């Protein structure tokens, strides 16, 4: 049982590390260049599809994304045939 739990934990950690190292995920802190705890459109501009989602993500319409708003960002699906 302990081996199964350890295996599950290790698999989760490896998967999380792989995701964090890919372009599919960029941490809020890495994007928040001026460290004001909000993402401007310019700071978030490196994210694929962010401009198309901006109005939906920026719930309070203040021109910045909070951590909670950024958590709702959905990475666009890759084009067919791209791995």
Domain count, the chain: 1
Q: Is residue 2 part of a domain?
A: no
Q: Is residue 9 part of a domain?
A: no
Show the tokens assigned to 55. 């109005």
Q: Is residue 8 part of a domain?
A: no
Q: Is residue 18 part of a domain?
A: no
Q: What is the pLDDT of residues 2-47, one digit of tens each?
A: 566 544 444 444 444 334 444 457 999 999 999 999 999 999 998 9
Range of the domain at 58: 25-77
| End-to-end CA separation in angstroms for the chain | 35
Q: What is the mean pLDDT of residues 65-75?
A: 94
CATH, residue 71 = 1.10.238
**pTM beyond 0.85, yes or no:** no
Q: Is residue 67 part of a domain?
A: yes
Q: Is residue 14 part of a domain?
A: no
| pLDDT confidence tier of residue 75, bands split at 50, 70 and 90 | confident
| Of the candidates 38, 29, 70, the residue with the CA atom closest to the CA atom of residue 53 | 70
- Cβ neighbours for 60, distance < 8 A, ≥ 6 positions apart: 66, 69
């Amino acid at each position: 049982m302990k081996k199964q739990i350890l295996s599950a934990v290790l698999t989760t950690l490896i998967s999380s590390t792989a995701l964090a190292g890919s372009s599919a995920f960029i941490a809020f802190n890495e994007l928040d260049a001026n460290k004001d705890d909000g993402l401007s459109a310019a700071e978030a501009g490196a994210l694929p599809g962010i401009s198309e989602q901006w109005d939906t993500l920026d719930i309070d319409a203040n021109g910045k994304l909070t951590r909670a708003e950024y958590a709702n960002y959905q990475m666009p699906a890759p084009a067919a045939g791209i791995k």
